[in-house]
Amino acid sequence: MFQQNPIKILTMVLMLAVFLTGCSDDSDNPAETSMTGTDNYDGMDFTLPYGGLTVSDEYEAFDDDSLKAMMAAEDGEEYDDIIGDDPEVQELEGQGVRPGDPNDPNRPHFTFLRLRWGMVSGPEDSLNTPMPPCDIVDWSGDISVDRGIILVRRAIRFERPYDHLVRSPEQRNVVGFVSHTACHYDGLFLEIIERPEDFDPEHEEPNRLHINAGPYQGVYEVEALAGLNETFEIDDQGNLMQLNGFNLSDTAYCPKGFLAGRFRHFHEENGELQVDTDDPGTRVGRMAGVYTDLTGRISGFMRGGYGFDLEGNRVFFAKYIDRRGHFRGLMAGTWQPGENARNLSVFAGHWVNGAGTREGVLGGVAHARDDFPGGFYEGRWTEICDDEAEGQVH
């Protein structure tokens, strides 16, 4: 009969005891580890760290139909820009993914711009609010820069072939488009590449971006697009023009990108609790959305809530997961209200991994909807490895 080595057994028992002791007294962990199941986001407890959220995995896209729909539509929004095959463009892109001194005058500059126009409302399928009949708005026009190259990375919700882009290899600084919206929105993810000579400070005029989009006309200095969060009301029907920018000297060295999502404060309709107090530990509302990379591809999802901690500070807590639901981080930060004290206005924070190590920062602005107890938000994120990007997130 097989006999086990008693010394070996004793060693294994001691190792197991050390392991269990370490797990039960790990003060660096931000929350109790849960290996199975999902957190109760409708029952977050703001008297607890991170609202009681754990480092567990989740269902894909938090099993949220509107977030899953955004991921399902992703392939149809990709755009294979013919300008990307240009040898000069490929060489400039290659320089951008190599780390180096951001102040090196011989490096190209890269500006990423997200534009959305029309009835912008975030992942509106989960807002569950009826929309009145919407007039069709023609946004057709073009976007150009005085110097440099424009690459189209993604065409958001274009109803092709009726809506489409117009590109010419001879005009690498211009992208034309045909776009119409009614009760929805269209948009573009653009990458602007400036050669070293394009942003030379000896130029008499700064490099400018020109937007000619139907009812919206705008001119911006490309340098000023860094950290841009702008939303312009177009008419009294709710049509908007929204712009978010990132200006970088490298593109792949440090992961970074954009945020988009929705928030909803509690009210007494549909049986939900109305919150009329700022008492410590009170949860005011919830929020959920997507992380995208600089080209608009979804990197992951966030879901959580906002309210007041035990000291009465305005805080938000959320969980960050990847595309398949794997845990990526727990988020914490602060928020400020809008005209309605229940609505989000701005928020900023960070996330930590399962060991409690701070890995990234995020921030954004929110926009309330008059016909709904909440609205949508937009913003940026970056991992903590790029001082230039961190400055623009905040």
Residue 207 CA, distance from chain mean position? 27
Please give the Cα distance from 375 to 387 (Å, whole number): 31
Residues 280 and 345 in one domain: yes
Residues 83 and 166 in one domain: yes
Domain hosting 81: range is 75-253
Q: How many domains does the chain have?
A: 2
Residue 36 resides in a domain: no
Q: What is the pLDDT along the chain (394 residues), one digit of tens a residue?
A: 334 444 343 343 333 333 333 333 343 455 554 454 579 998 899 999 999 999 999 999 999 988 998 888 888 899 999 999 999 999 999 888 877 666 777 889 999 999 999 988 765 444 455 566 788 999 999 999 999 999 999 999 898 889 999 999 999 999 999 999 998 899 999 999 999 898 777 888 999 999 999 999 999 999 999 888 899 999 988 899 999 998 876 666 788 999 999 998 875 444 444 554 567 888 889 999 999 999 999 999 999 999 999 999 999 999 999 999 999 999 999 999 988 888 899 999 999 999 999 999 999 999 988 777 888 999 999 999 878 788 888 7
Last residue of a domain, one of 253, 268, 296: 253
Please give the Cα distance from 370 to 340 (Å, whole number): 11
Closest residue by Cα to residue 106 from 222, 199, 191: 199
Residues 120 and 209 in one domain: yes
**Could you report the per-residue pLDDT of 280-324, keeping only the tens digit for each?**
888 889 999 999 999 999 999 999 999 999 999 999 999 999 999
Which helix H or strand E contains 388, and what residues bound it?
A: helix 387-393
Residues 283 and 147 in one domain: no
Residue 21 resides in a domain: no
At position 217, the amino acid (one-letter code) is Q
Last residue of a domain, one of 203, 234, 253: 253
Burial 358-373 (b: 16+ CB within 10 A, else e): ebbbbbbbbbbbeebb
Please give the Cα distance from 92 to 84 (Å, whole number): 10
CB atoms within 10 A of CB 13: 10
Residue 33 resides in a domain: no
Residue 82 resides in a domain: yes
| C-alpha distance from residue 1 to each of 6, 7, 10 (Å) | 15, 18, 20
Angle, alpha carbons 329-333-337 (nearest 5°): 135
Residues 125 and 262 in one domain: no
Closest residue by Cα to residue 55 from 299, 384, 355, 334: 355
Residue 24 resides in a domain: no
Residue 4 resides in a domain: no
Residues 245 and 268 in one domain: no
**Could you report the per-residue pLDDT of 89-99, keeping only the tens digit for each?**
999 998 888 77
* CB 132 within 8 Å of CB 159: no
Widest pairwise Cα distance in the chain? 91
